[in-house]
A = this chain, B = another copy of it.
Amino acid sequence: MDFFTWVIITAGFGMAFGSLGTAIGQGLAVKSALEGVARNPGASGKILTTMMIGLAMVESLAIYVFVVSMIILFANPFKDVVLELVAG
């Protein structure tokens, strides 16, 4: 049963730590975008485009963690093995 307990803990906290860093990274990016628009409003279109591309790249890192969490929860390759071990 430890196994299933840790599956839940890992999916939840893994996603949490993964988005912790990702959020700091995106925060740094948005912060600069806002400072940039404030300093040079005429360039706001270009700044917005660059920000979206950058944020999408950072977002992809959080998506990797999300994919691993979903695999662990819904397509766990060790579920059957562990169930047999417990049953046997």
Total copies of this chain within the assembly: 5
Contact A15 to B65, CB < 8 A, known contacts A34-B33, A72-B8? yes
**Which of these, B5, B41, B58, B86, contacts A2 with CB under 8 Å?**
B5
Which residues, 1 to 59 on A, are CB-close (under 8 Å) to B?
Answer: 1-44, 46-55, 57-59
Assess whether B55 is in contact with A54, with CB atoms less than 8 Å apart. Answer: yes
Q: Contact between B16 and A13 (Cβ–Cβ < 8 Å)?
A: yes
How far apart are A67's CB and chain B's nearest CB, in angstroms? 8
Check B23 against A72 for contact (C-beta < 8 Å). no
* Contact in complex: B5, A26 (CB < 8 Å): no
Q: Rank and list the top 4 A-B pairs by shortest CB-CB distance, nearest first.
A: A36-B38, A25-B27, A20-B21, A30-B54
